[in-house]
Amino acid sequence: MQIEIVKNVLAENENLAAEVRKRLRRKRQSLVNFMSAPGSGKTLLLEKLIPCLGALGLRVGVIEGDITTTNDAARIQPLGVPVAQINTEPFGGDCHLAANVILGALDLLEPHPLDAVLIENVGNLVCPAEFDTGADLNVVLWSVTEGEDKPLKYPLMFRTCRLLVVTKLDLLQPAGADLELMKANVRRIHPDIEIAVTSARTGEGLDALAARLADHHKKTVF
Amino acid sequence: MQIEIVKNVLAENENLAAEVRKRLRRKRQSLVNFMSAPGSGKTLLLEKLIPCLGALGLRVGVIEGDITTTNDAARIQPLGVPVAQINTEPFGGDCHLAANVILGALDLLEPHPLDAVLIENVGNLVCPAEFDTGADLNVVLWSVTEGEDKPLKYPLMFRTCRLLVVTKLDLLQPAGADLELMKANVRRIHPDIEIAVTSARTGEGLDALAARLADHHKKTVF
């Protein structure tokens, strides 16, 4: 019976994700879903990436997902882009964003003319990968301080994402991390995953990542 | 109906957690549950802490929880302590350990005369806090590279744990982290939480943490 209900929840989510996609196509918008463990640097990456996307002519909106607090939305707002904050605490403290809350967030962003909407999912390497948000590109962030074994231990997340953004490259040496081993391990799980290596602090890799997302936008919308 | 089932799952888990506790009291064992985000350094902390606990005369066993792989158990085994590896993948890839799998793991450890059993939970700052494992001490690890806001954004985890272990202190300066702000933020959520500050790499704080756990063992068992 539990399994039946989980199936129903996922099937219902698929329907709502399809609705998200229809709406995006109608409005000629792309939707990118950023996922990672807590503290991998999702918010800081968005803070630094959004101006790069703006410089490429993309009008960007953001959906911030957290169990509680509006801290992340408060960090994005000064960039002058519209933000919809979702708190899952009133809904049982959900550990992921599902398509129904994305639809609600798109309603909130409706008044703004946007090209690309970026989702910052709840910090969690497990559950968000199980719920289709309706995004046309799933991205996983993985910081060099988290250990080289993460794709092996959380394979669904790394299989679900077409693009891996390695973060905190400036900490590679202090953390004693092995970037080549990270790349080799993620390719054991997802051989043709694309990899962008970045440091939000030094700016390394951000222009290239913005160009990659702008390219994705064009291919999705036109 | 979904809510009803979730309630039943949690109630059933409470019953099994009570069974875990009865069994521990009968065997005069303590059970410590280590939780954190992926990559906060749980396995490395255990690798370094177990010899310190051994030096204090404690016979330690370990329960390793992962969705998949036996990598962590393979890292613990060379220490010469018994390890029970739980993989949740066959059970739907559960993002946490519940009391039923702890009972099974205690069965596997049964042949060994043990004082303290240490659980390394699945890396996740959300769901493991919702499931009582039967442990008599819940511990959360939080690395200095994860940002100072984590307790504010994942309050249930930091409220559930009586002890916070700050990890990767050797990366404090490279990461530009603010230890006092970390402490202040966790105390906003859990004012009297105990805090141990450690670096598994340099060994800082490990003897004090081992002494704290040995003290916990004595108080729990005698």
Q: Mind telling me how many Å the CA of B192 is from chain A's nearest CA?
A: 21
**Which A residues in the span 125-184 are in contact with B, Cβ-Cβ below 8 Å?**
125-127, 130, 143, 145-147, 149-150, 152-156, 168, 170-171, 174-176
Element (H, E) at A38: none
Element (H, E) at A193: none
- In this prediction, residues A106-122 reach a mean pLDDT of 97
Confidence of residue B89 (pLDDT cuts 50, 70, 90): confident
Q: Tokens for A2, please give them.
A: 């539990």
DSSP A115: S
pLDDT tens figures, A131-170: 999 999 999 999 999 999 999 999 999 999 999 999 999 9
Count of helix runs (H) and strand runs (E) in chain A = 9, 7
Contact A102, A128 (CB under 8 A): no
**pLDDT at residue A1, as a whole number:** 43
Which value does ipTM take for this structure?
Answer: 0.92
Q: Which residue has the tokens 């272990």?
A: B165
The dihedral through the CA atoms of A165, A167, A173, A175 has a sign that is negative
Within 8 A by CB and 6+ apart from A130, the residues are: A10, A96, A156, B93
Q: Is B168 left (phi over 0), alpha (psi -120 to 50) or beta?
A: left
pLDDT tens figures, B5-30: 667 788 899 999 999 999 999 999 99
- In this prediction, residues B41-70 reach a mean pLDDT of 97
Q: Tokens for B46, please give them.
A: 């255990």
Contact B74, A149 (CB under 8 A): no
- Closest by alpha carbon to B37, among B140, B119, B110, B138? B140
Contact A122, A66 (CB under 8 A): yes
**pLDDT at residue A89, as a whole number:** 83
Phi, psi of A110 (to 5 degrees): -50, -40
pLDDT tens figures, B103-113: 999 999 999 99
Amino acid (1-letter code) at residue A85: Q
SS3 (DSSP) at B196: strand
- pLDDT greater than 60 at residue A2: no
Confidence of residue B1 (pLDDT cuts 50, 70, 90): very low
Q: What percent of chain B has pLDDT over 90?
A: 91
CA dist A186 and A136 (Å) reads: 21
- In this prediction, residues B84-95 reach a mean pLDDT of 85
**pLDDT at residue A10, as a whole number:** 84
- In this prediction, residues A181-186 reach a mean pLDDT of 98
Across the interface, whether the CB atoms of B39 and A68 are under 8 A apart is answered no
Element (H, E) at B12: helix B2-27
Element (H, E) at B197: strand B194-197
For B61, counting Cβ atoms within 10 Å of its Cβ (0-12 exposed, 13-18 middle, 19+ buried), the class is: buried
- Closest by alpha carbon to A186, among A137, A139, A117? A139
**pLDDT at residue B127, as a whole number:** 93
- Closest by alpha carbon to B181, among B153, B139, B147? B147
- In this prediction, residues B40-59 reach a mean pLDDT of 98
Contact A197, A179 (CB under 8 A): yes
Q: Tokens for A26, please give them.
A: 């109608």
Contact A122, A96 (CB under 8 A): yes
Which of A5, A37, A149 is nearest residue B2 as measured by Cβ atoms?
Answer: A5
Q: What percent of chain A has pLDDT over 70?
A: 97
Phi, psi of A174 (to 5 degrees): -55, -35
Q: Tokens for B132, please give them.
A: 């009582």
- In this prediction, residues B114-123 reach a mean pLDDT of 98
Is the pTM of the predicted complex or chain greater than 0.90?
Answer: yes
Across the interface, whether the CB atoms of B153 and A69 are under 8 A apart is answered yes
**pLDDT at residue A220, as a whole number:** 94
**Which A residues in the span 54-113 are in contact with B, Cβ-Cβ below 8 Å?**
66-69, 71, 92-93, 95
A42 touches chain B (CB under 8 A): no
Which of A147, A152, A174 is nearest residue B39 as measured by Cβ atoms?
Answer: A147
When the pLDDT of each residue in chain A is averaged and rounded to a whole number, the result is 95
Element (H, E) at B72: helix B71-76
Confidence of residue A6 (pLDDT cuts 50, 70, 90): low
DSSP B57: T
Within 8 A by CB and 6+ apart from B182, the residues are: B142, B144, B148, B166
- In this prediction, residues B170-185 reach a mean pLDDT of 98
> Which residues from B are below 8 Å from A123, CB to CB?
37, 125, 153-154
For A61, counting Cβ atoms within 10 Å of its Cβ (0-12 exposed, 13-18 middle, 19+ buried), the class is: buried
CA dist A6 and B145 (Å) reads: 35
